[in-house]
Structure 1
Amino acid sequence: MKKIRAFLISLLIISALVADAQSVRTYITHTDSIDLRKEWFLLDPELDRVQGVSVERAYKLLEGKPSRTVIVAVMDSGVDIDHEDLKDVIWVNEDEIPGNGVDDDENGYVDDVHGWNFIGNVHADTYELTREYARLRAKYDTDEPRKIRRKEKAEYEYWLMVKDRFQRYKAKSENDYKTCQQQLDSYKAFHKNLKRSIDLIQETYGLEEITPAIVDTIKSTNKDVELAAYFIKVIYQNTTPGISLDEVLDEFEYVIEHNGEVCDHYRTAVEVGYNPDFDPRTLVGDNYEDLEERHYGNNDVKGPDPSHGTSVAGVIAAKRNNGLGIDGIADNVRIMPIRVVPNGDERDKDIANGIYYAVDNGAHIINMSFGKSYSPHKEIVDKAVRYAESKGVLIIHSAGNDKDDNDVDESFPTRFYKNGKEASNWLEVGASTQGTDSSDLIASFSNYGKKTVDFFAPGVDIYSTDPGNEYDSADGTSLSSPVTSGVAAILMSYFPNLTAQDIRNILRESTRRLNGVKVRKPDTLEEVRIDQICIAGGIVNAYEAVRLAMRVSGEKRPE
């Protein structure tokens, strides 16, 4: 694959394609990862020389120790509950009779056998910035200018900021989509021309394979044949010896597929995310203006695209030691799928209700691998977080992938209530890497914050479950959060007397600290100590967390 990467770089130069280097890296990064076990995040820094979280080592400490089943609510885009590596670990509501159309347990949700879907059949939704723009535009961006009253001044200033940011972000998204589509068209054209050239040479000379030696001998008065031979010759001259044309075609098909996915993302952002006139809420069937409404949606916990949630669930709980796919982190756990995240920004009402549902139905941990920059109804989310706090439920949230300082640029939902007080049951997690180079230990995209991000956890090249009994790798703090949720689930399972606050403190205090090691701050690339960009100053570690839990619980700690 490294030969193909070298080939692609040369090919891009030859073709004079307008390609963004970072985008190209994103498309092919997971086909050319470093030579490590796919589940590197389970490994141990000392024994395996990779910055995993020492899961396998932790289980050696727990051999022979009884455990209880821990329920982890995955508030996300949906989960493929039939996946071969997840179907045995999906939560079942034993008080509900499947498919009878009756709310048997009288919790307000009909046939919620495996969880609940608070956004119904919605696939894509707008960004919260767009919704704020639409809401305020109706009031302030009118044909008839009006005088701004004193009590409206703060909101009007906020409107001007929202309007400016919306217009800039929308324009950038439109440009990104245009550039991406041009790049995709170039890839497709190159692939088409190469395939046509190969077919022409093979048909003209009756060849099964075209080698560099053969192409050097081709002389023809047919201009099409001559051009095809020259095209193939240039390819061979600009790549590593030994690469076949079939490999080149296969790699371009891969790049086209993944580049197409990126273009689809940009297209959705333009057509939906930044479209103030788009509103899919009628598909949900709730009264959106009633923020106290609790019972709406349906029991389809997969939804139209459960890719993200399925990956998150796999990291936490994929069935261990079953000979399939991957091993999740926690070994006695059930996943409660709660669908609240569309392709776009989740809404505060749905977040709050997802938390209530999780708590009321027995979840011990809530994993939230999502975030946004605005929270117009933060008070209802705060109320739900307080409810979880009062019931001893731990919330673990991803810090975000914008390489922002969360101390400065808030990412919602957040541990801080509107009154400034802090939830005691909350962990905020940034993303770390395999750490083959200490300066690159923190993921280049990860948000951080000395006061707002607790610690880091693996979030790069994380191999996990994908819908349809598939498996794939992905990057993001969306994976760092479930890594942490998995470790927290181990502690709650084997140390049932520990509270959510105990678990939070243990995970903070047991992080693997890298004393004296400098890491790169994601936004500026400045080299700083890790304790300057997070609270605990380290990376979550299951082995050290178990050792500390044993001490806190008064158990004899193995040496």
Structure 2
Amino acid sequence: MKKQFKSRLILLFGMLCLPLAMSAQKQEWHLQSRELDKVYGTGVTRAYAELLKGKTPTPVIVAVLDGGIDTLHEDLKANLWRNPKEKWGDQDLDGNGYKGDVFGWNFLGGPNGQVTNESSEYQRVYFKYKSLFENVQNETDVKKKDRQHYQSWLLSKSLLKKGDTAAPVDFRSKEVKDDYFNIKDRFYGNANLIGDPYFHGTHVAGIIGAERGNAVGMDGVAGAVKLMGVRVVPNGDEYDKDVALGIRYAVDNGAQIINMSFGKRVSPEREMVEEAIRYAEKKGVLIVNAAGNEGADVDSLPHYPTPFYMKGDKRASNMITVGASGSTEAGLVAAFSNYGDQTVDVFAPGVGIYATLPNNKYSPLSGTSMATPVVAGVAALLKSYYPNLTATQLKQIIEQTVTKIDFPVTLPKSGGKKVKMTELCRTGGVVNAYEAVKMAESMK
């Protein structure tokens, strides 16, 4: 998934971040405010200084579903979630089925190795069903039980690129010893969160909850936070089953917020993921997911996971989908960000976000991958000071307190066309932590 950093913005697969070709700047503009600092940040710093001073927060568990986390990082290790009943080793002391899951769990691997590289989902789907569907002339010729797969195959065919080759017949990596199509076969993987491409998850984790006020590196959005690592995304597209089980693992082990900075255009086992989202919804867990980096309208070109359920017109009440914004009026909507006035809920800072990288390093990255943990961090901040807020209330507060954008913004990949912000997301605004804290206080 992650290739060499280049001197220009390049889109990376699966995980939604863009290496930023610029000198590292420790100015964390995403924490600043329009009123005090003249940038379209979140006002987090102002909220701490003016509204939360003297108040005592309660730690909130945030699960980072990603490519892994550097659990040794100087700015993260103090804020890592630690399974209170588990120890390192080949034992399952807490009886949850996952041996040695001290900091979380890795669904990409097995007893003898780690998964690093995987194909894109559209490749897996295209070659898996090619022999079944390549001669079909009309969808009515396809059995009803196969029509969803047929539609996925058609979409995959449209995405196929020159040079794409067939994935192995057994497309699941040999390191993962599971029955992929059986969601009940869930006890696989290992406890190692440090496996490529963990730089992405390390950056995401830092945005949410790098230790605040320690004079090291940078400050996370949320101070009272415990970061649970759940490794589900390799170099390539994530598997639906791993995502579904990752959500369930996070919920079952106490996560109150789940960050999902990844996505893909094809989701053949979408039901697995949807059922997991419903499970999180039932348990009152907020999910924050990235809109994607293709500069596309995801109302018409779906990006998975999606907040919409397959049957009916209902959408998940516990999901916030996030687009990426910049610091200035001229560059408010990131040129790479997906959008959609039905699917995308809010925009948040996602351009040049300075945060943690493996081996005690730091760097700015751009992407909806970065905007998403900004929102997850704001949700964790609210939950830590106002612990009785439910997932739906957190979503309500974050959406109702955005900084409304009342000037025309540039539509991504349109050649400069100007549109209203309400045409790009449901709320027409950028997340505002300062106003969100004020609203949470009033609801208390």
| Residue 227 of structure 2 corresponds to residue 327 of structure 1 | no
Cα offset, 1:147, TM superposition:
11
Q: Find 2:232's aligned residue among 327, 330, 340.
A: 340
TM-score scaled by length of structure 2: 0.90
- Which moved further from structure 2: 415-424 or 450-459? 415-424
CA distance in 2, matches of 1:91, 1:446: 31
**1:316-373 per-position Cα deviation (integer Å, ceiling 9, x unaligned):** 0011111111111100001000000011110110010000000000000000000001
CA distance in 1, matches of 2:220, 2:192: 24
3-state SS of 2:95 partner: coil
Alignment-derived partner of residue 128 in structure 1: 121
> Any conservation in 2 of the 1:431–1:460 contact (CA below 8 Å)?
yes
Q: Find 2:288's aligned residue among 373, 389, 396.
A: 396
| AA at the equivalent of 2:349 | P
CA distance in 1, matches of 2:191, 2:310: 32
CA distance in 1, matches of 2:411, 2:225: 35
| AA at the equivalent of 1:52 | G
Cα offset, 1:37, TM superposition:
5.0
Cα offset, 1:67, TM superposition:
1.1
Could you say which structure has the higher helix fraction?
A: 1
Q: Find 2:8's aligned residue among 17, 25, 30.
A: 25
How many pairs align? 421
Pairing of 1:43-192 with structure 2 (within 5 A): 43-60=32-49, 61-99=51-89, 101-120=90-109, 121-141=114-134, 150-152=141-143, 154=147, 158=151, 161-162=154-155, 164-167=157-160, 170-171=161-162
| Residue 370 of structure 2 corresponds to residue 479 of structure 1 | yes
> Any conservation in 2 of the 1:122–1:280 contact (CA below 8 Å)?
no
- Which moved further from structure 2: 74-83 or 127-136? 127-136
| AA at the equivalent of 2:236 | G
Alignment-derived partner of residue 325 in structure 2: 432
> Any conservation in 1 of the 2:258–2:286 contact (CA below 8 Å)?
yes
> Any conservation in 2 of the 1:439–1:518 contact (CA below 8 Å)?
no
CA distance in 1, matches of 2:140, 2:316: 36
3-state SS of 1:26 partner: coil
| Residue 370 of structure 2 corresponds to residue 387 of structure 1 | no
Alignment-derived partner of residue 189 in structure 2: 297
Alignment-derived partner of residue 519 in structure 1: 409
> Any conservation in 1 of the 2:172–2:180 contact (CA below 8 Å)?
no
CA distance in 2, matches of 1:323, 1:476: 26
CA distance in 2, matches of 1:149, 1:312: 45
3-state SS of 2:42 partner: coil
Cα offset, 1:287, TM superposition:
1.4
Alignment-derived partner of residue 14 in structure 2: none
Q: Cα RMSD between the aligned structures?
A: 2.2
Alignment-derived partner of residue 378 in structure 1: 270
Pairing of 1:501-512 with structure 2 (within 5 A): 501-512=392-403
Cα offset, 1:160, TM superposition:
6.8
Cα offset, 1:159, TM superposition:
7.1
CA distance in 2, matches of 1:166, 1:316: 33
Alignment-derived partner of residue 389 in structure 2: 498
CA distance in 2, matches of 1:511, 1:398: 17
CA distance in 1, matches of 2:369, 2:299: 19
Alignment-derived partner of residue 223 in structure 1: none
Pairing of 1:414-433 with structure 2 (within 5 A): 414-419=306-311, 420-433=313-326
Rate the CA distance shift 1:408–1:299 in 2: closer, same or farther, 3 A: same
Pairing of 1:197-276 with structure 2 (within 5 A): 275-276=166-167
> Any conservation in 2 of the 1:132–1:162 contact (CA below 8 Å)?
no
> Any conservation in 2 of the 1:125–1:342 contact (CA below 8 Å)?
yes
TM-score scaled by length of structure 1: 0.72
CA distance in 1, matches of 2:226, 2:268: 33
**1:521-558 per-position Cα deviation (integer Å, ceiling 9, x unaligned):** 113232111111101110001101001111111xxxxx
Rate the CA distance shift 1:409–1:102 in 2: closer, same or farther, 3 A: same
> Any conservation in 2 of the 1:429–1:477 contact (CA below 8 Å)?
yes
Specify every segment of 5 or more residues in structure 1 that has no aligned partner in the other structure, as ranges: 1-22, 175-269, 554-559
Specify every segment of 5 or more residues in structure 2 that has no aligned partner in the other structure, as ranges: 1-5, 11-18
**1:283-337 per-position Cα deviation (integer Å, ceiling 9, x unaligned):** 1111113232221111111223310000000000011111111111100001000
Identical amino acids, percent of aligned pairs: 45
3-state SS of 1:289 partner: coil
Alignment-derived partner of residue 446 in structure 1: 337
| AA at the equivalent of 1:31 | M
3-state SS of 1:68 partner: coil
CA distance in 2, matches of 1:325, 1:146: 58
CA distance in 1, matches of 2:228, 2:374: 16
